[in-house]
Amino acid sequence: MIKNLFSTPKKTAVTVLCALAILTAVGTGTAFAVSAVAESTSIGADKAKMFAFADAGVDPVAAENVRTEFDFEQGHFIYDVEFTANGTEYGYWIQASDGSVVKKIELIGAGGSKTGITAAITQKDARKIALEDAGLTEAEVTISAEKLDTENGVAVYEVDFVKGNVKYEYDINAMTGAVYSKSSESTALPSTEAAAQPSEAETAAANATVAPTAENRSNNNYIGLERAKAIALGDAGLSAASVTFTEAKPDFDDGVPNYDLDFYTATHEYDYEINALTGAIMDKSVEVNEHAARETKPAATAAPTAAPTVAATEAARSFIGVDRAKSIALGHAGVSASSVSFSKAKLDDDDGRGVYEIEFYVGNTEYDYKIDAYSGGIIVYDIDRD
């Protein structure tokens, strides 16, 4: 019977083609099976998105055009996460086993703060220059980040890549193609991907923390930063006008997406973690604001009264006030309040001198100011274009 299958050239050709088709089908089925098993034991698409949002410093509510796909790239099972936020397009490869960032790319769009950077070479040219300088080929490495940026007023391409346990970071002059700066360091990665796999107990606990349900499957179901602030203030029994926020950002803690909020009054400092999906208070702490307590010196004969507000404390010491300090910093930077996001605005003590620490962002540019609390003079400022 078998011999008859090869009795003529035509039968031989047909038999070989049928055998190849069977082998291809078996191989494809095996690949699908392996992929399905890997995805079923992975962190899940929702957590992969949150790892990407946290790395980018993006509020999940602000993310648009979010796309997540399970894939196999360069020897790793990964989640390919893409989204846009604040005029920037983000692309991430998130390790499916533990949520680590394998690769990321930021593309500043028309709404970003870095449009108008002039380059005489392309990103592909810059990558080739960096790899040649490192003595490596593109096939040997994993590109982890690429973007056009500026360093000290010089247009550069940032090219980051990894080979084995070594991470390389290059800045290539975008006009001349010269190596502007470079560094390499050992990342001490495990020798195999299996070493990074969590235990069965750890995986079960993480998956139980935020089960992907119909209610929380989309990032549009996160409560948002402003709602998180309102929850924390309501729990503390305070109004937005009576506090100053020093930190308000999306975060990821033990597999749970949350908002990290720090703020203070004239008498106390507050630290909250708010669940980004449910609005539940995950953690909170309240401490006496020792600095403000030292600054405020009520008369010895005064009867006990309610704790003074920040504004009352500032007025008593003839300070210009945090709002005036903000205006001075914004005026110097040449930006409007509506175009910035404040990350810090508080009264502090600098070697016995009252100062306001003001920090804010415009796109990917960070501004850091110290303003004299009495005169309003700018003591020092720094502008960091990330």
User: Residue 200 pLDDT > 60, yes or no?
Assistant: no
- What does pTM read for this prediction? 0.34
Q: How wide is the angle at C-alpha 222 spanned by C-alphas 220 and 228, nearest 5°?
A: 140
Residue 259 backbone dihedrals phi, psi, to 5 degrees: -110, 125
Residue 279 to residue 232: CA distance in whole angstroms? 9
Top pLDDT among 269 and 129 is at 129
Q: How wide is the angle at C-alpha 53 spanned by C-alphas 52 and 57, nearest 5°?
A: 120
DSSP assignment of 103-124: EEEEEE-TTSS-TT---SS-HH
Residue 187 to residue 185: CA distance in whole angstroms? 6
Residue among 131, 186, 193 at smallest CA distance from 161: 131
List the structure tokens of 186.
Answer: 């050992």
List the structure tokens of 50.
Answer: 């949150």
Summary mean pLDDT of the chain:
76
Top pLDDT among 40 and 179 is at 179
Q: What is the CA radius of gyration of the chain?
A: 28
pLDDT at 307 (0 to 100) = 47
pLDDT at 2 (0 to 100) = 56
pLDDT at 102 (0 to 100) = 84
Residue 29 to residue 24: CA distance in whole angstroms? 9
Residue among 275, 283, 273 at smallest CA distance from 257: 275
What residue has token string 């790892």?
Answer: 51
Residue 24 to residue 22: CA distance in whole angstroms? 5
Contact in structure between 235 and 284 (CB atoms under 8 Å):
yes
Residue among 103, 102, 68 at smallest CA distance from 83: 68
Residue 132 to residue 172: CA distance in whole angstroms? 12
User: What is the DSSP-derived secondary structure letter of residue 240?
Assistant: G
User: What is the DSSP-derived secondary structure letter of residue 216?
Assistant: T
What residue has token string 């490495």?
Answer: 141
What residue has token string 């669940």?
Answer: 275
pLDDT at 107 (0 to 100) = 63
Mean local confidence (pLDDT), 144-171:
86
| Helical spans, DSSP H, in the chain | 2-5, 9-40, 45-56, 123-134, 200-209, 225-236, 290-295, 310-316, 322-333
- Split at pLDDT 50, 70, 90, the class of 300 is very low
Mean local confidence (pLDDT), 241-267:
86
Model confidence pLDDT, tens digit, residues 93-120: 898 988 888 887 766 543 333 445 778 8
Spell out the residues 6+ positions from residue 31 whose beta carbon is closer than 8 angstroms to its own: none
Three-state DSSP state, 22? helix
As a residue count, the chain comes to 386
pLDDT at 191 (0 to 100) = 35
Contact in structure between 276 and 216 (CB atoms under 8 Å):
no
Residue 362 to residue 384: CA distance in whole angstroms? 11
Residue 55 to residue 250: CA distance in whole angstroms? 10
